[in-house]
Structure 1
Amino acid sequence: MKSRDWLNILKESRPWIVLICISDAFFLFMAWLAYPETFGILVGIMIIFSVFTIVFGMWLDWKRKIKQRETFYDFLKEPSLEHEGRFIEAIGESHKEELKYLANKLRIQEDQLDDAKLKSTDYAEFIESWVHEIKRPISLSTLVLANRKEEMSQLVYQRLEHATANIRDNVERILFYARLQASHVDYRLERIPLNLCCEDVLLELQGLLAEKEVTVISHMEDVPIVSDKKTLQFIFTQIFINAVKYSKEEIKSFIWLKTGFHSVKNRYYLRISDNGIGVLESDLPFIFDKGFTGDNPNGSHSTGIGLYLVKKLCDELQIEIEVESEYEKGFAIQLLFPIIENALKQ
């Protein structure tokens, strides 16, 4: 038994210990009056007996408390009728009614929680199924749009391509959001050419970039990144879309891409910066919060979910994020990738 347990039991046992001491004092006084010649022997016997009684009583109390603690935690983990009965037996019948009421409440909440978990799982499975189904007509519309490009004006084509890209992005957001709610997500880690991964994303967003007249300037070199390609492409897509969404219409808009090695943090990095509206300094700590859109004029067109998903997925893949911004001058986000040993051998 820990010394703290002994002290706690001693504090709780003070009333009956005091009573024993008072009782001993009374009987010692009576013994002194009745048998003064054997008073010393009686005092010794009574003290030894009292100390033994107190220690034995505290030991029994400690054993009882251990049993109560064990049955209490068993009852909390599983408030079944069996555990309820054991707990009532351990603490006594005086609290039987209160415990029965508590047990019924816990069982009702446990049933409600199981039902909610089942509904949440069914909903997540439905969303994933729906996302995969909706991707087919989106792919078909993209194919038809590409084949009929000559039959429409450049402006109409760009607008339709932009709308298709928006639909595809929103569908991907739903899918990744649903996956993040799952208890376990499988990531397919592989050696990824970072520059080619970015180029694939930019190719998908070509219509959006052309419509908004945003130019991409790349100073990227291949760095040995090991990550999940599909998730990484989604992260890049959200960052690029944000850069385009908050670009300035009155000036020529740019997105700069640069890769390198951060010697201080011993990580490879990808820096994505723009010359758009930027973010208010007061808003910067909250840009990764779910639903946060800030005070920018384009905030009304934002759901506040894109960067939230970026942060969550980067945490999952152990990618560190650094951001900096100067309002009305631009925004920069830097992704720092962990170094995986033997990555170049893959």
Structure 2
Amino acid sequence: MKNYGKRIAEYMPWLLLTGCVEGICILFLALADVQVLQVLAGVLTLMTVLMYAGVCIYIVKKEQKKEEAFALFLKEPEEKTAEQLLLYCGKAEKERMQNLLDYLQIQRKEKENLLKKTEDYEEYIEGWSHEVKTPLSLLAFILGNHKEEFSEPVGYKLEYIQTRMQESIDQMLFYARLKGGHKDYLFEMLNLKESLGKVLEDYGPLLEEKKFHVDIQMEPEGIQIYSDRRGLEFMLGQFISNAVKYCDKEPEIRIHVEKREENRKKMWILYIEDNGCGVKACDLPYIFDKGFTGSDINVNKKPTGMGLYLAREMATDLGLKLYAVSEYREGLTMKVQIPIVDRPCVPGSDCGVLPG
């Protein structure tokens, strides 16, 4: 009923004008012959009611069809649906509507061209990333089989270069993966300690070069979580990379896990702590923002501000939660809240026990 009232209200000025004209005609008839008006009063009343009822029904039906045609056009903005919409428009309205439709068609074509360019760019970046992995694999092969042919400083530098290049490529690929329409995640039961060990092994050259002390306290050791292996290891790698970038003298990484229950929801809390430069209190709320690099970053480090942003995006996709705790000059602690599921399921579904 509300919709009917709104549709009729748009035409109310014309209906009132018609009523005024009819009232003037009745007034003239009364002045001419009151007896005739009294005879015709019932007929005039009936004709007026029928006329207004017919006009209101016509208005409601027309506006309803126009709204349906407009909704169909928004759903399928094609020439055929545009023609159907114009059928229910008046001459003046049709001209304005045609201009709007032409503009929408132009915007649609520009959007399609932009999407096509974006897809081409993503394909190029992804292709380039895979191509550059070939020389990286060759470098890894040489370092693995002929490392003794290089001096120790040269060997460390080559391993450092290899790790940094691999990290940048992984960031690029995972960014494309996170923003893509299709996300090829493979959820399975994983051993958390094994995944951490793989990440630490990948960053081994950087940790050795900086002389990191790594302390892992994983009890129980066989903690099983349900997640995507590549996504989880990429996220953990960003924390290790961050610790390496902003390490101080006698650098340390401490990793431990605790079990917690909140609101009848069980979860593991993974702590990855370092003793680096930490984060200022004014910067801490923004460290997961895209491109954020802090207020006193050393220009020699040249951070991109993408590592923790990508880690948070990946955590969201995997059904995890990230928290950061830091005291400036005292180090940074990354906390990962991992749900304990009753049975394997994809995060976001209604099975298992997921954190709120």
Q: Which runs of 5+ in 2 are unaligned?
A: 346-356
CA distance, structure 1, for counterparts of residue 114 and residue 10 of structure 2: 42
Counterpart mapping for 1:20-59 below 5 A: 20-37=18-35, 39-40=37-38, 42-59=40-57
The alignment-based identity, stated in percent, is 33
How much does 1:342 deviate?
A: 2.5
Judged with a 3 Å threshold, the aligned counterparts in structure 2 of structure 1 residues 343 and 13 are, in CA distance, closer, same or farther, namely closer
Superposed CA offset, 1:155-198 (max 9, x none): 32222211110011111111111112211202111110001110
Deviation at 1:287, TM superposition (A): 1.0
- Residues matched between the structures, number: 340
Partner of 1:115: 113
Deviation at 1:314, TM superposition (A): 0.8
Measure the CA separation in 2 of the matches of 1:64 and 1:261: 64
Q: Which moved more, 1:66-75 or 1:163-172?
A: 66-75
1:144 to 2:155 alignment = no
* Match in the other structure for 1:260: 258
For the 8 Å contact 1:28–1:43, the answer to whether it is kept is: no
- Structure 1 contact 68–90 (Cα < 8 Å) conserved: yes
Distance 2:144 2:78 in 1: 63
The aligned residue for residue 162 of structure 1 is 160
Whole-Å separation in 1 of the counterparts to 2:105 and 2:15: 40
Which of 6, 10, 23 is 2:4 aligned to? 6
The residue that corresponds to 1:303 in the other structure is 304
- Supply the AA of the counterpart residue of 1:223: I
The DSSP-based 3-state class of the residue aligned with 1:100 is helix
Structure 1 residue 35, shift from structure 2 partner: 4.8
Distance between the aligned counterparts of 2:344 and 2:62, measured in 1? Answer: 58
Moved more, 239-248 or 173-182: 173-182
Equivalent runs, 1:63-102 vs 2, <5 Å: 63-102=61-100
- One-letter amino acid of the structure 2 residue matched with residue 319 of structure 1: L
Q: In the alignment, residue 56 of structure 2 is paired with which amino acid?
A: M
2:339 is aligned to: 338
State the distance in 2 between where 1:109 and 1:18 align. Answer: 40
Matched, 1:19 2:17: yes
1:284 maps to what in 2? 284
Aligned twin of 1:319 = 320
Q: Secondary structure at the match of 1:238?
A: helix
Aligned counterparts of 1:17 and 1:277: Cα–Cα separation in 2: 75
Q: Which amino acid aligns with 2:108?
A: E
1:136 alignment partner AA:
T
Looking at secondary structure, tell me which structure has more helix per residue. 1
Aligned match of 2:353: none
Whole-Å separation in 1 of the counterparts to 2:319 and 2:64: 43
| 1:126-183, Cα deviation, whole Å (9 max, x unpaired) | 3222222222221221121122322333332222211110011111111111112211
Instruction: Specify the SS of the correspondent of 2:87.
Output: helix
Alpha-carbon displacement from aligned partner over 1:176-229 (angstroms, at most 9, x marks no partner):
111122112021111100011101110111110111121111111332201111
> For the Cα contact (< 8 Å) 1:271–1:332, is it kept in 2?
yes
How far off is 1:46 after superposition? 2.4
Partner residue in 1 for 2:270? 270
Task: Work out whether residues 13 and 58 of structure 1, in 8 Å CA contact, stay in contact via their aligned partners in 2.
Answer: no
1:41-72 deviation digits (Å, cap 9, x = unpaired) = 53333233222322221121111111222222
CA deviation digits over 1:56-94, x for unaligned, max 9? 211211111112222223334444333332222211222
Contact 2:7-2:63 within 8 A present in 1 as well: no
> Residue 191 of structure 1 contacts residue 224 of structure 1 at CA under 8 Å; is this kept in 2?
yes
> The residue matched to 1:42 in structure 2 has which SS?
helix
Q: Secondary structure at the match of 1:213?
A: coil
Counterpart of 1:52, as a letter, is: L
Q: What value does the CA root-mean-square deviation take over the aligned residues?
A: 2.2
Q: Quick one: which of 206, 210, 219 aligns to 1:208?
A: 206
CA spacing shift, 1:18–1:212, aligned 2, 3 Å: same
Q: Deviations over 1:242-276 (max 9, x none)?
A: 0111111xx32111101121212521121111111
The DSSP-based 3-state class of the residue aligned with 2:252 is strand
| Partner deviation per Cα, 1:103-126 (whole Å, 9 max, x = no partner) | 333223222222222222222223
User: Partner residue of 1:230?
Assistant: 230
Q: Is the 8 A contact 1:246 1:298 kept in 2?
A: no
Secondary structure at the aligned position of 1:262 is classed as strand
